[in-house]
Each structure stands twice: as C-alpha cells, then as structure tokens.
A = this chain, B = another copy of it.
Amino acid sequence: MPYSDKYWQKEEVMPPKEIEELQFKRLKWVIRHAYDNVPFYRQRLKKAGVHPDDIKRREDIAKIPFTTKEHLRENYPFGLFAVPKEKIIRIHTSSGTSGKPKVVGYTRSDLENWINMVARCLYMVGVRERDVFQNMVSYTFFTGGLGFHYAAELIGAMVVPAGTGNTERQIRYMLDFGTTVIHATPSYAMHIKEVAEAMGIKPDEIGLKIGCFGAEPWSDNTRKRLEDAFGLKAYDSYGLSEMNGPGVAFECEEQNGLHIWADHYFIEIVDEEGNPAAEGEKGELVLTPLTKEALPLLRYKTGDITFIMDDECSCGRTHPKIHRILGRADDMIVVRGINVFPSQIEHVLMQIPEVGDHFQVVITRRGSLDELTVRVEVRDEIFTGELADLDKIRQKVQRELQKELGLRTNVELVEKGTLERFVGKAKRVLDLREEV
C-alpha cells in the first residue's frame, strides 16, 4: 500500500516543477468547478469581472476575490456545495463561538484524498502497522477525530478510538494496549502528564514514541516540555475543517517547518491588505483546495499567520514548508494599541524553567486603560512559600514578557493545579473588557 519504506504516496517526492504544473492545472479546474456549480462564486467572479478562462498564469489567482468564514456562515448549511446532496457522504461542522456553524461536506473522492493526506503525515513521522495509535481528540463533528482515525487505520496501525476525557482510563489503556503514538491537543497532553504522575506513573515510562499535537498553536518550548515529559518525539499538526481537516500540513522528522501538500492546496501568504507578502515574509495563510469536489473554496482566508520556508528538506519531500503557526488572526488581542498573540506569551513562558505547564491570560479595563494579567502556575518544587524567591520569579517572567511583547503585564504566580485543564482546545484568554 505505501509507495516506499519512507513515503506513503509517490506525490510526496514529485519534482517541484511537476508539482507546480499539476497545481496550476488543478487550480484552473477548481475555479471552473466553483464557477459552474456554485452560484455564489459565479456571481462573485462576474462582479469582480473575472472569468475562469482569464486564469492563464499562477499570478492570475490574485484576480479572484477571497473567501472568508463569514461567507461559509452566510451560506449555511449547503450554499457553497458544488455537487448535489446525493454525492456528499460526510458532513462536519465547526460550532465556532457565535452565530451559525460552518458546515463542510465531502464526496467519496474528497474523503479518499483527505485520508491519504493525513496518512502521508502519519507515515512521515514514522507511524507503521506495528504501532498502537490512541486518538485522544473529539470524534463526531470535529474533523480531528475521524480524520486521524481513518488515516491511522489505512496505514494499518492498531487504532484505539479513545476520544477525550476519562484521563485515568486513557493512561491505563496506554499501558495495557502498549500505545506508541498519541494524538491530542498539547494542553491535554500536559494534563495527561500530571494525571499520570498523580497515579504514580512516570510519563516517560508509558512507552510513547510519537506525539501528534494540533488544534492549538504551540511553541518549540512546549515541544521540548512534551518531549522531555513523555520521552517521545512531538510533531505539529496543522489543518482546518474548511480544507478537509487535519493533514493540510505536518512536520517531518526534521521538526523544522510543516510540509504543506501542494498537489492538493494552492498556497498564498498575504499581508493585511490582501496583497502577496514579500518572499519569506510572514502574513496570513490563504488556501485554495485543488481537488475538493464538494466544497471548492477559492482563496480561503485561514486567519493563520505563518511564512513559507523555502529551503530544501533533507527528508526528501519536495512540497514547500510553512513555519509553525505564529498566531491566529482571530486570537489576536489588542492591548493599549499593541497586538499580542497568546502564542507569543506561551513561547516566553515555556522557556522559563520555573514556570509550570499551565497559564491564563486575563484582560481587564481600569478606567480607560487595558490591563493584561498573566496568571502562571509555578512548578511544585519552586513553590516554597519564600516570598522573596517568588517575587524574583515574578519579576523575571514580567521582564521576559515585556521583552517579547513590548508591553508591561501584570504577572501573578499561582500554585500548581490552580488553573483550569482542558481535554480539547485550551481556552487561555479571558477578555473581561466590555464590548468596544
């Protein structure tokens, strides 16, 4: 079934020129497909004065207007689908925080492409038939559960469809089933570590080898903590339901950037005005799925900030790499006029040895002034009660945050176990300001 010992599909090592040609051929197809079958796109392209035949070179994609998550919501549930309902064999939804959910659909061919992309990712980091894969994310509407489930099963690993929650049982099953690979959010993995310790089990003796972590931005410092705790190699997983789900991009064993599957996605990085970012510059990731029959979203604004790393990769894969997500446009907090991403805070905290694995960001307004408070758990062994020592740590954290953010923050140290734990995506920011 796999293409070779090292690659799941032969497309992973296509010569870059061939990938580009295939990309452009498929790009023309998907624009035509959307134009012919989705009234929303026909109207939009007409209004923009573009016809599918006008796309003659790669650069011409800039003529196509962006698609946003609001467009998906406004066309709830099936308004952007390009095939009749009978051809759709799967629905996923993302509930979002407010308003109508985003509904995404798949034809049989879409599912096959998707699952193979996730299988590429898992195979890339070493998942094989002999592995036991414990899938500790939500199933049902969330694409992360079924996406990884099908792919690990396709590879032939022993899939444990664990879902979230019941952490003690998760840990018992890891030991009893000989789990070697886990898929979870990084924050849930941190929670598992604590629960295992409380059960008297050393996390690095569970036997885990590979950890796939996604659904939240996380930093290299968190990677180091996860790897040290469990004795595994931790890989960053990137995807979004609008682009199938997980499997859009994934780190290879180099752990230096995520290969993004350019035979299935057309990749752009744009600045705040929507213009192409300069080469290697960071900006918002804009994706066009090239093979999606059910839901051909043209130039979809992902909201995720990253940049293209255009080095050749020693893993041999010829697909471009993106840097791990620096932040989500949606997550950005503006405090006293300064843009702050929670991922920046995480990055700073996780490299300070005295800081534990959990933190919370609280934003309040005093008079007309925004206050950013970072509540930080300190490590057990640090919490001696010596106030002078604690104050030194507090000042250190404050200093490091100021260096990174260019902003004075209040830092509050709390005891281990004080802050909420999450089984899915962590909700770390509490914005208590009134609507502005």
The 10 A-B residue pairs with the shortest CB-CB distance, nearest first, are: A140-B163, A139-B139, A88-B158, A86-B129, A140-B161, A91-B160, A86-B130, A77-B176, A89-B153, A90-B159
A92, B157: Cα distance in complex, Å: 14
Q: Which of A76, A93, A146, A161 has the most chain B CB atoms inside 10 A of its CB?
A: A161
Residues in B neighbouring A86, C-beta threshold 8 A: 129-130, 156, 158
Q: Are the CB atoms of A91 and B177 closer together than 8 Å?
A: yes
Q: Mark A146-182, 1 if CB is under 8 A from B, else 0.
A: 1001000100111111110000000001001110000
Q: Are the CB atoms of A89 and B140 closer together than 8 Å?
A: no
Q: Which of A108, A157, A160 has the most chain B CB atoms inside 10 A of its CB?
A: A160
Q: Are the CB atoms of A90 and B161 closer together than 8 Å?
A: yes
User: Smallest distance from the beta carbon of A158 to chain B beta carbons, Å?
Assistant: 5
A77-112: which have CB < 8 Å to B? 77-78, 85-86, 88-93, 103, 105, 108, 111
Q: Are the CB atoms of B108 and A158 closer together than 8 Å?
A: no
Q: Are the CB atoms of A89 and B161 closer together than 8 Å?
A: no
A383 within 8 A of B: no
Given contacts A129-B86, A132-B85, A161-B92, contact A145 B139 (CB under 8 A): yes
A251, B20: Cα distance in complex, Å: 53
Q: Are the CB atoms of A130 and B85 closer together than 8 Å?
A: yes
A160, B139: Cα distance in complex, Å: 12
Residues in B neighbouring A158, C-beta threshold 8 A: 85-86, 88-91, 105
19 additional A-B residue pairs with CB within 8 Å, beyond A91-B160, A139-B163: A76-B176, A77-B177, A78-B177, A85-B130, A85-B132, A85-B158, A86-B156, A89-B157, A89-B159, A90-B161, A91-B158, A91-B161, A93-B173, A103-B177, A105-B158, A111-B153, A140-B163, A141-B161, A146-B149
Residues in B neighbouring A108, C-beta threshold 8 A: 156
Residues in B neighbouring A132, C-beta threshold 8 A: 85
Residues in B neighbouring A161, C-beta threshold 8 A: 90-92, 139-141, 146
A108, B159: Cα distance in complex, Å: 12
A177, B141: Cα distance in complex, Å: 14
User: Smallest distance from the beta carbon of A2 to chain B beta carbons, Å?
Assistant: 14
User: Smallest distance from the beta carbon of A268 to chain B beta carbons, Å?
Assistant: 31
Q: Are the CB atoms of B77 and A153 closer together than 8 Å?
A: no
A149, B157: Cα distance in complex, Å: 20
A159, B157: Cα distance in complex, Å: 25
Residue of B nearest to A93 (CB): B173
Q: Mark A42-85, 1 if CB is under 8 A from B, else 0.
A: 00000000000000000000000000000000001110000001
A433, B78: Cα distance in complex, Å: 54
Residues in B neighbouring A156, C-beta threshold 8 A: 86, 89, 108
Q: Are the CB atoms of A141 and B163 closer together than 8 Å?
A: yes
A139, B135: Cα distance in complex, Å: 12
Residues in B neighbouring A178, C-beta threshold 8 A: 85
Residues in B neighbouring A111, C-beta threshold 8 A: 153
A85, B180: Cα distance in complex, Å: 13
A129, B83: Cα distance in complex, Å: 13
Residues in B neighbouring A129, C-beta threshold 8 A: 86
User: Smallest distance from the beta carbon of A24 to chain B beta carbons, Å?
Assistant: 32
User: Smallest distance from the beta carbon of A152 to chain B beta carbons, Å?
Assistant: 8
User: Smallest distance from the beta carbon of A188 to chain B beta carbons, Å?
Assistant: 15
Residue of B nearest to A156 (CB): B89
User: Smallest distance from the beta carbon of A112 to chain B beta carbons, Å?
Assistant: 12
A286, B129: Cα distance in complex, Å: 33
Residues in B neighbouring A85, C-beta threshold 8 A: 130, 132, 158, 178
Q: Mark A386-415, 1 if CB is under 8 A from B, else 0.
A: 000000000000000000000000000000
12 contacts between A and B (CB under 8 A): A85-B158, A85-B178, A86-B158, A89-B153, A89-B156, A90-B158, A91-B160, A92-B161, A103-B177, A140-B161, A140-B163, A141-B161
User: Smallest distance from the beta carbon of A103 to chain B beta carbons, Å?
Assistant: 8
User: Smallest distance from the beta carbon of A233 to chain B beta carbons, Å?
Assistant: 21
A162, B146: Cα distance in complex, Å: 12
